């Protein structure tokens, strides 16, 4: 099962043809992946949901160590597909999964995000919700909208108009002194950092209605690469920096020093 790291894949790869795979995008910090156990758990969950075997984890971990041991800061992407071939959509019984690693530079950390309310909606699909699969055209279309609007990110709603998440981050909404995040049972991704915030009881899952953002006290986004990022604007609505966001960032940085940054401070 263990293969050497790939730089190319066959055009028969099912990841290329059908998005038939899952991935993780992970922060590298001082030669390691501090959130690796959580990423691995989600990878297993996603692969299990799709019926893709997870290759030898010891071997993958050894290759990851080779790649990141000398890296101070960066992003490592792990992509796992069902492998090659099969006649049409039917997964081949004997498919050998393909996995790939690629190292990318750390993106710049923005002090406050300008977020575009996307017109592209997230469809409801319980079989795929939560996992980080490779069918990402909705996110591609949403992010393209955000870029056209000159924004840093795009906020996506479900078909009923309820805010769910950004194209590549989960949504945190502060109301009445509590941070809330929408459920991801029918669409959206169950982010690794979102899961940590929930487990620490710093955030709770709660429905956010369509009108539930404009009058929020503060909004933030979170993901496992950039940590917690305050939102400065959603469309025309703007927010000032909020102490609760600073405090949430500080709690995270205590557990994971890689997320220590100037944050929302002016």
Closer residue to its own copies (CB): 69 or 135: 135
Question: What residue ranges bind its own copies (CB under 8 A)?
Answer: 6-21, 23, 50-51, 79, 81-82, 87-91, 100, 102, 107, 120-121, 123-125, 127-128, 133-144, 146-147, 159, 167-168
Task: State how far the Cα of 169 lies from the Cα of 193, in Å rounded to an integer.
Answer: 9
* In the complex, minimum distance from the CB of residue 11 to its own copies, in angstroms, rounded to a whole number: 5
Nearer to its own copies, 149 or 202 (CB): 149
d(CA 242, CA 174): 10
Measured CA distances, 209 to 60, 97, 185 (Å): 42, 40, 16
| Minimum CB distance to its own copies, residue 139 (Å) | 4
Name the residue nearer to its own copies (CB basis): 39 or 82: 82
Least Å from the CB of residue 210 to its own copies? 18
Q: Which is nearer to its own copies, 151 or 248 (CB)?
A: 151
Q: Give the burial class of 220: count Cβ atoms within 10 A of its Cβ; 0-12 exposed, 13-18 middle, 19 or more buried.
A: buried
In the complex with its own copies, the residue whose CB is nearer, 7 or 176, is 7
Sign of the Cα torsion 140, 144, 145, 150 reads positive
To the nearest whole angstrom, how small is the minimum distance from the Cβ of residue 49 to its own copies?
9
Shortest distance (Å) from residue 242 CB to its own copies: 26
- Spatial neighbors of 20 by CB under 8 A, at least 6 apart, are 14, 50, 52, 81, 82, 91, 134
Q: How far apart, in whole angstroms, are the C-alpha atoms of residue 193 and residue 215? A: 25
In the three-class reduction of DSSP (H, G, I as helix; E, B as strand; rest coil), residue 47 is classed as: helix
Q: How far apart are CB 142 and its own copies at their closest, in Å?
A: 7
What is the spatial distance between Cα 30 and Cα 89, in angstroms, rounded to a whole number? 42
Choice between 155 and 203, CB closer to its own copies:
155
**Shortest distance, CB of residue 14 to its own copies, whole angstroms?**
8
Based on CB atoms, which residue is closest to its own copies, 17 or 45? 17
How buried is 45 (Cβ within 10 angstroms: 0-12 exposed, 13-18 middle, 19+ buried)? middle
Query: Based on the number of CB atoms within 10 Å of its own CB, is 42 exposed (0-12), middle (13-18) or buried (19 or more)?
Result: buried
């Amino acid at each position: 099962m263990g293969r050497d790291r790939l730089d190319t894949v066959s055009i028969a790869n099912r990841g290329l043809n059908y998005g038939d795979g899952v991935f993780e995008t992970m922060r590298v910090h001082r030669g390691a992946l501090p959130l690796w156990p959580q990423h691995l758990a989600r990878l297993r969950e996603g692969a299990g949901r799709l019926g893709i075997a997870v290759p030898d984890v010891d071997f993958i971990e050894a290759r990851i160590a080779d790649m990141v041991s000398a890296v101070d800061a960066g992003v490592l992407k792990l992509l796992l597909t069902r492998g090659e071939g099969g006649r049409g959509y039917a997964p081949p019984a004997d498919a050998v999964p393909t996995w790939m690693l690629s190292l990318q530079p750390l993106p710049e950390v923005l002090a406050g995000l300008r977020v575009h309310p996307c017109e592209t909606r997230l469809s409801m699909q319980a079989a795929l919700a939560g996992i980080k699969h490779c069918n990402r055209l909705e996110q591609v279309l949403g992010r393209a909208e955000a870029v056209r609007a000159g924004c840093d990110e795009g906020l996506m709603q479900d078909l009923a108009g309820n805010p769910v998440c950004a194209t590549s981050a989960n949504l945190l909404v502060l109301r009445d002194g509590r941070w809330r995040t929408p459920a991801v049972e029918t669409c959206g991704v169950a982010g690794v950092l979102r899961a940590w915030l929930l487990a620490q009881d710093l955030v709770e899952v709660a429905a956010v209605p369509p009108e539930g953002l404009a009058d929020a006290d503060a909004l933030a986004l979170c993901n496992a690469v950039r940590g917690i990022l305050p939102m400065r604007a959603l469309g025309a609505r703007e927010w000032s920096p909020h102490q609760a966001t600073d405090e949430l960032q500080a709690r995270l940085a205590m557990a994971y020093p890689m997320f220590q940054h100037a944050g929302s401070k002016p």
